[in-house]
Structure 1
């Protein structure tokens, strides 16, 4: 099996158009080796160059990129391969698990057909015929804990975790020696994340695969990788074994990454997310909780809320008889795994989904409006931050237009440009003038998510309903956005309902935690009580699945 070697690799992009910045260096002089059969993690934030470096392994960089130095698989420089030779290397010698399974799978082909494609392009004695190739698809699905029947499913019929498992099966299809995994657990809930990480670790051990894994979360890398390299601004800042990187890092930036994801129960991180901004101390959590319980302070409430869908001729109850209250100045974290009904509940609370008859949703004591000026006024007060920034942003609109859109809908009469600039600044996109003319595909995933948040903040809401607001953000951006939510609560009395699978987020900023399972709220109470002394088995299951860094005493 070959080693994977990066020898003094530098990668530069040529930019053009409205956001022309000349040549931009994405990777600078990186020298790194992944020995045969070993595991290496690359950590860093959006824009650090880690994904660019990973894509260079199989020459998947755009034409605007120039690579200096060499990337070698064994003794072969990837840059010297002809197209035919490169095609033979892809899938068969090295493969990639891409970051977004939702966007990487073809929506109009079954997942079985998509796995078969790789087997048909790289025929081996063990899968020469259609029959043996179909049998191979079944074996691959079984290896990632999916039934063979899922081969006939289309991507939209699978959950996020199932789609990610299909991506792993595709990467393993032709028995490669090297697998590159680019953020394979991003936006997955904690239970599915643990399942995926355990599966990757098992497959690497059983098959002797070399694994290069990319993530911004050190705890995720530490659960799978022997060594971790940390990148910042395109450069390597620290390389060491995983335990050292996570528990005794020497570089200040590595220390910042290690502190970015809090340990549940750590009093120092309670109401204190790791951030680059100076923070004002939050009030005592228990005192705030007691203050916010007065009925007069109720901002948004649901009573006996039930939502039923009709799917394939059958009725599906996504939300079941939920009672939930958000008070003025209160931050409620609604936690649960994918499919628990969290997002459906959130959409119903902001009027994007109609509940069943008998359900009650009130805003400041008044039934939720459904049309006209009253609904427009309600949406100025209660803004939703959607989960997927790629879907939330119009790819043809500039950042300025995207953020200003809500102001125009609400007929804002002040200085529009000043308000857009302030919203971008609040969302940590500074200087704002640098981003205003950019379009979504010119931004990183984290930057796109911050644009969505800026659009919500622009109209000056009193409450945010945020659906996984930091799921795609890197470490410091995550902390900055969470600190921003706390700051807005402090300055404006902002309330927030934060839908998340990240229990560390709930520990960081939530006064109250509601745990949702199969459409029901199964546990509800102050964050310290729910997270430190859980009463329901499902809450305990969620907490046991959280990836943690084992710290030295």
Structure 2
């Protein structure tokens, strides 16, 4: 049988001002109809370059060697008209980042219909009927065709991207990080949807991610990429349960299984953690909420409860993980605790007293309780040097940012060493992990007592994730900082948190020590979150054809 997709000694080199850079080297891979193959690796390993090579989506600066065969036909030898016909109708891509991949000013139905009109010559009525059929296949109502992207949740936007990829009934679908930044329940829904499509339609699927646990639940075979090479390949169970290459082992260690005692307070990180001493569970409460309520008005003017009657304590020298799916109220609660959102009722308290409402009092409070944003690319001004980014906070708060050692000390605390090497760099000259450390350094420059971290590793690679989680643990142990970590990742909560607060529809439905909440959950929603986590044991993968 002719493979649906075959890569033969594929190599890709980019021509840059500094010389040639080899992104992919000697990749061999084959995919049969109805089979699922996962490609794992960190950013920069060559995964996305391989994807772009399949349909010749690489920039002109790329030089490609070897061959890409689509159902036996050499893609590199296709004339433009033939290549254009193959895209969407024979092979399609679900690009990562559904939040930004859709045109914000066009209704989603029009966007799904576009490849139909271009590649099949369907009339407007035929395209509309097909759009409704596709939406039904991805479990969305026909009414969503008239919605704009901003009116959909993250999971719904990802489903729209999948519907678009299936519009022209291709036999090959390439999913590039399709579940990144989705909460575990929406992730499980998307994975289940892709699984059903493979089984029912017999399509071939290439699934690309850095999360081996996702591949364990979805793929029959896995190829691990590192520095442009496939360093390990085999069936999913062998690769995940008995990895041979050190990079595969590092990827597996970066996503701990809930319940694994080895990974408690021990994220995968090169730098050792300080010894964990006895913690006082009754240490002073630094930040708390009492009967906190936040209501918003919808378009009809009706009150909608985003946060309803929340009581929460964060103690000194403690990390609390606030978990729940998108839309549960986590971010609204965090914004209210930070003084960025005014509560409708109830109160926020710091160090035993209510948070002041005066401008000067609120300003001082915000210096003590600092926010670490999710996406370091958006958090940093691309035109500001590292020094300017870290010094900005102290200057805003009337402190002497130029005092010798202030910025350097913050960078050193964030483990950017030697700090002097980073002061004049711009964000684009740093790696993702280094940018996140600069964001953390900016918070530390104000000498806070509490860090509120909103999905601090969601956009980072597997190995960098371990480094940042290790840094947060070291800051807690060395500086006595309190931490509130907002996440949908229960593995992260197991990794570093002392207590877990589970949020559902604006309320905290379960709060307690990590071992109690994640190993002996009492609430049905907590059990649903745990059940939705992809298992690292690949016992039940999709059909392999």
Instruction: Specify if TM > 0.5.
Output: yes
Distance change >3 Å, CA 432–CA 168, structure 1 → 2: farther
SS at match of 2:110: helix
More moved, 175-184 vs 363-372: 363-372
Contact 1:309–1:316 (Cα < 8 Å) also in 2: yes
Distance 1:31 1:278 in 2: 38
Verify: 1:264 aligned to 2:281, yes or no.
no
Q: CA deviation at 1:23?
A: 3.3
Gaps in structure 2 of 5+ consecutive residues: 540-545
Aligned to 1:300: 287
- Describe the superposition over 1:352-373 as per-residue Cα deviations: whole angstroms up to 9, x where unpaired: 11111x3211111232234544
Q: CA deviation at 1:276?
A: 2.1
SS at match of 2:88: coil
SS at match of 1:54: helix
Verify: 1:226 aligned to 2:227, yes or no.
no
Q: CA deviation at 1:99?
A: 0.9
Aligned to 1:50: 47
Aligned to 2:28: 31
Aligned to 1:60: 57
Question: Which of 320, 326, 337 is residue 349 of structure 1 equivalent to?
Answer: 337
Aligned to 2:308: 320
Contact 2:216–2:538 (Cα < 8 Å) also in 1: no
Q: CA deviation at 1:224?
A: 0.8
Q: CA deviation at 1:430?
A: 6.9
Distance 1:273 1:210 in 2: 35
Question: Which of 269, 276, 282 is residue 275 of structure 1 equivalent to?
Answer: 269
RMSD of Structure 2 on Structure 1 (CA): 2.4
Distance 2:364 2:509 in 1: 33
Verify: 1:413 aligned to 2:410, yes or no.
no
Verify: 1:489 aligned to 2:473, yes or no.
no
Distance change >3 Å, CA 174–CA 396, structure 1 → 2: farther
Aligned to 2:368: 381
Aligned to 1:532: 519
- Describe the superposition over 1:130-173 as per-residue Cα deviations: whole angstroms up to 9, x where unpaired: 21211110111111111111111111111111111111111111
Contact 1:161–1:192 (Cα < 8 Å) also in 2: yes
Return the TM-score normalized by structure 2.
Answer: 0.92
Count of residues in correspondence between the two structures? 537
Distance change >3 Å, CA 342–CA 108, structure 1 → 2: same
Aligned to 1:155: 149
SS at match of 1:304: strand
- Describe the superposition over 1:491-527 as per-residue Cα deviations: whole angstroms up to 9, x where unpaired: 0001100111111111111111111000000111111
Distance change >3 Å, CA 537–CA 426, structure 1 → 2: same
Distance change >3 Å, CA 431–CA 473, structure 1 → 2: farther
Q: CA deviation at 1:415?
A: 5.5
Contact 2:401–2:407 (Cα < 8 Å) also in 1: no
Q: CA deviation at 1:189?
A: 0.8
Distance change >3 Å, CA 133–CA 446, structure 1 → 2: farther
Distance 1:95 1:503 in 2: 32
Distance change >3 Å, CA 426–CA 172, structure 1 → 2: farther
- Describe the superposition over 1:314-370 as per-residue Cα deviations: whole angstroms up to 9, x where unpaired: 2211000101111101100111111100010001111111111x3211111232234
Distance 1:311 1:460 in 2: 39
Structure 2 counterparts to residues 134-533 of structure 1, below 5 A: 134-283=128-277, 287-288=278-279, 291-294=280-283, 297-313=284-300, 314-356=302-344, 358-370=345-357, 372-413=359-400, 448-533=435-520
Contact 1:428–1:477 (Cα < 8 Å) also in 2: no
Distance 2:182 2:437 in 1: 19
More moved, 439-448 vs 219-228: 439-448
SS at match of 1:508: helix
Contact 1:2–1:177 (Cα < 8 Å) also in 2: no
More moved, 542-551 vs 403-412: 403-412
Aligned to 1:8: 9
